[in-house]
Every structure is written in structure tokens, then in C-alpha cells.
Amino acid sequence: MSEVFITCAVTGAGDTVGKSDQVPFTPAAIALDVIAAAQAGAAIAHIHVRDPITGDPDRQVVYYQEVVERVRASSTDVIINLTAGMGGDLVIGSVETPLPLDSQQTDLVGATERLDHVRLLRPEICTLDCGTMNFGEGNYVATNTHDTLAEMARQIQQLDVRPEIEIFDTGQLWEAKSLVDQGLIDSPVMVQLCMGVKWGAPNDLNTFMAMVNNVPDEWTFSAFSLGRDQLPYVALAAVAGGNARVGLEDNLYLDRGNLATNENLTARAKQILESMNFEVIGPGRVREMLQLTAHIP
């Protein structure tokens, strides 16, 4: 029986808080959803934080700290995966006058600051968004230059944290291989194939399999897609030899018209996988597989 693990991405940084009252945005609510998802079968919790008043995406270290401390204090066995994607937001002024940048929406900081929360909290995993891309509509560019990625990878390596390399298109896999070849990312390498995110790789089967076929055999991969395609991708990722990701970061509905929770999305993913005769493994086995280091706070 093949082994598969589930990651639950509990809140993300998208404009979702106003679309579902199930999206957690305070540190306490995010921590509770992490715990509930773990109890439902998630081995890994992928964590963003938000302003606890407005629900807007945020990256203040104190919010990450509260979430992580609450989860650890609960004694819940779950692998914490903190995003390091925040701080790379570049929004040009306009199409005719790109400079100055839109100062209200641009949040562009250095590699070291983007890892402040990782340095303090020492999770087992943090993300490394492997490339720059137009992200959605408008004038927003998710900015991750090669030199920035190399420096972030170097610092993550020094912290003995496993990077989950987030891959949004085929060229980003090429860049990830370059970082590995430079000795900046240690084995075993872990990647997340992010499908259907505008304007990265579309989530059709041909594109997905092109991505999968370019993942080296010795790497571990997970994959997901957005909205109504999230749950079908649970099955698709597993059949392709990978692992699954669900959660309210990427999808708000369990069924048509039925708002989801992180807990019931995770439970549904587990049900899908077990019905296909996959063994859904827990955090202990995943730690062995990915050679993770549990840092004592």
C-alpha cells in the first residue's frame, strides 16, 4: 500500500476572509484550525498569519509566534510549515507610470527579514517560493529573484529547517534544481506543485504531468489546485506518485454551496485517499521520510 501524507494550508494570504466566515484570521483561530486539521489526518500544517482585526494578510513575527506557541502548547503532533513567501510583494504604480511603486500595496523586504519568524520559531519546514511571476490580475508581481532565493536557501539551511520549495511553473523547477546543484538545499528535497494559480502553470492534466515528469525521482512532491479542483487533485496527486494538500488557503467549499472548514477538507481528503487504497501517514512517518529536525522551543 503506497504512503501519502496530507498538508492542510489553513488560511493563506488571499482575499478570502470576507467570502467565508470559516477562514481563520486571529492567531487563536488559526491555531485551533491547525489542531483540528491535524486531528482529522493532516501531517503538516502550512501557516500564514493575518491582521487579527481586519483579516488582511500580515507577516508580523508576533502573530506567527502566538500561533506556533498555541499549537505547541496543545501537544498536538503536527509538523509546522511556516510560509516565507511574504515580503516579496511588488506593485507598480500604473501601466504608463510604473515608478514610483504603489507604496500602499508593495511590501518588498530583504531575504533576512523574510525569515525573521523562521529564525525565532524554528519550525520543521518553511516555504521557499521558487521564482518571480505575475500573480493574479492587476500590477502585482510576486518577486523572488535568483539571488534572493539563494540567500534565503542558505539561511534556511543554516537554521536546519527543511524548505518546501513552492513551484508555480516549469521554469521554477529548473531554478530549484540549480539551488540544489549549488549545495544550497539538502536532500531529501521537498517540492509543492502549485497548479492553476494565475499566471503560473494551468492545472490541466498535460501540464501537471509535465511538471511531475520534471521532478527528480529522489525528490518528494505534493500538489494541489484551487477551488473546485482542490479535491480532485487529492486523487490526481496521489496517483501521480505525490502527496496531497487541501485547506482554506486554496478552496472555500466542501461541496457546491457548502462552505468548508479546514477540518472537513482534511477529513474528505483522507477519505478519498483511503478509498483508493492509499495509506495516509502521520507526522512521525513524514519526519522519517523528510529527515526533519524537531527543534525544542
| Residue 34 within a domain | yes
Core vs surface per residue 240-274: b (16+ CB within 10 A) or e: bebbbbbbbbbbbbbeeeeebbbbbbbbbbbbbbe
Positions of the chain with pLDDT under 70: 297
- Rounded CA-CA distance 213/223 in Å is 13
Residue with cell string 515608478: 99
3-state secondary structure 260-280: CCHHHHHHHHHHHHHHCCCEE
- Rounded CA-CA distance 6/157 in Å is 24
DSSP-based three-state secondary structure for 69: helix
Here the CATH number for the domain that contains residue 83 is 3.20.20.70
Compute how many other C-beta atoms are within 10 angstroms of the C-beta atom of residue 142: 18
For 204-260, what is each residue's pLDDT tens digit?
999 999 999 999 999 999 999 999 999 999 999 999 999 999 999 999 999 999 999
CA distances from 107 to 89, 158, 288 (A): 5, 25, 36
User: And the C-alpha cell for 173?
Assistant: 523547477
- Rounded CA-CA distance 262/16 in Å is 14
| Residue 296 within a domain | no
| Residue 97 within a domain | yes
State which residues form the domain around 280.
3-290
DSSP-based three-state secondary structure for 31: helix
Query: Residue 194 corresponds to which amino acid?
Result: C
**Residue 297's pLDDT is what?**
63
| Residue 297 within a domain | no
Asked if 108 contacts 88 with a C-beta cutoff of 8 angstroms, the reply is yes
What is the maximum alpha-carbon separation in the chain? Answer: 57
| Residue 255 within a domain | yes
- Rounded CA-CA distance 170/212 in Å is 10
**Residue 89's pLDDT is what?**
96
Number of domains in the chain: 1
3-state secondary structure 205-247: HHHHHHHHHCCCCCCEEEEECCHHHHHHHHHHHHHCCCEEEEC
| Residue 166 within a domain | yes
| Residue 295 within a domain | no
| Residue 154 within a domain | yes
